[in-house]
Structure 1
Amino acid sequence: RKADNMASTDSEAQSDATVSISDFSSDEQKDEEENELKLTFCHRCQCQCCAVMPLVMECICCREINEVQGEMLRRGVNASCITEVDSFQTCCLNPDVLRVAYYAYVDHHGRMEEATSHERYRYIAYRQFVRLCWGHLGRAVRVTLPSCAVNKIRSTFSAPTGQYVGFLYPALD
């Protein structure tokens, strides 16, 4: 009976190992598919300013978003990328404009105590970009920002560690 139990245990262990290996293969396949989608994005980018982002959903060009294209049309600019448009540079990259926008944010939401200066600038710049292209979205409404805009804001107000948060879904609370 001990031999039977050991054989049974060995086959269960083998089965567990097989599941783990197949799970790994499945995860590996998903990673490959995701990388392929990201490479497709690089070829799909029309503004020539995008970079591959960590999440596939973040790999979107400004030329693919109607609201961003609308902002470019409103300005009557024939720029290849939203980051070249004066309204983007003024509203999203100008430290003085961002400082004033931060004060308005503080009036409604309170101070961002834990954030560094550059984190505050990036956060407010992303909010400014949303307001510029979409207007006011409302509480807990999120949109994916184009890779080119995110990268321009990040390069202007870079994190010393090079680590960034990326897209977050709103809390379920």
Structure 2
Amino acid sequence: MNAAVFPVPDADERRDNATFEAVMWAMARPGTARLLPDTGLLPVALALVDLETRIHCDDAGLREPLARTGAAFVALEEADHLFLSGDLTAAVAASVAAGSALYPDQGATVVASVTLAGGRLLRLTGPGVDGAVTIAPAIAPAFWAARARIPYPAGFELVLVEGRRVVCLPRSTLVEVL
């Protein structure tokens, strides 16, 4: 009887798996920081993007590695996944694909490089949050106001990255600017 042969993940696959796991745990516990295996948006992008993904990226340094994934680069409004190193503005929140009441899964995932402290205090409530959580990412209040105008269950997922830390806010998370 032959011994079973199992594929052994290489270093890139292990990094992508660990990144995906950190993002999923952060998504399951909105407002709670998790650690990524590497810094920046690239590890998150590589863990989430594949040949079927439509992406928008405003970071010139990420464009080449993302192009190697085979994902299609599209306009911000058409993207499934957005990788943003610029400011999150009300215009971004209003332009991102938000799905609909019938198809909320068509809402985008916005992955943004932000400072996770020093902004206005936000109180988070909703599924996955035990009571309420307070965070203070450096994002303008106008962004949160525009996000709040999207009627649930439509919306977009938000993945905030600073260095190796990641904090997620699913579309179901209610955000109150304090």
Q: What is the TM-score normalised by the length of structure 1?
A: 0.30
> Which structure features the higher share of strand residues?
2
Q: What is the TM-score normalised by the length of structure 2?
A: 0.30
